[in-house]
Homo-oligomer: A and B are copies of this chain.
Amino acid sequence: MTAAQKPGPVVQGTLDMLILKTVALQPMHGYGVGLRIEQISRGVFQVNAGSLFPAFRRLERRGWIQGEWRATENNRRAKYYMLTDAGRKQLQSEAREWQAQSAAIARILEATSGEV
């Protein structure tokens, strides 16, 4: 039973970063981003539409991504989002901050006594 816990929500505060990173690789529509995050996280995360779409609106409003209606591979209409230059900067900044935070948490979890 060392394996696969049931999927859960994304770690709070990281969804924007994960979306930016995902659309940085290639323009994608919202639904696809959700699936991709589930896949790459290997089922650790599961993104709800009620989280996803507000996030896309948020990111677009802030100018970090830009949407455009296109046809999917399956002949449907979907809004494809791609990263802007500002979005690329934002992604770098959030990723850097995340590294610092997860390193800090790792330090705390590994602490064995009174180290500073």
Partner-B contacts on A (CB < 8 A): 5, 8, 11-14, 17-18, 21-22, 25, 37, 39-42, 44-45, 95, 97-98, 100-109, 111-116
Contacts and interface: CB of A to CB of B under 8 A. Distances in A.
B104 A98 contact: no
Number of copies: 2
A106 B14 CA distance: 11
Given A5-B97, A39-B116, A40-B111, A105 B11 contact: yes
B18 A105 contact: yes
B101 A44 contact: yes
A60 B8 CA distance: 25
A100 to B, nearest CB: 5
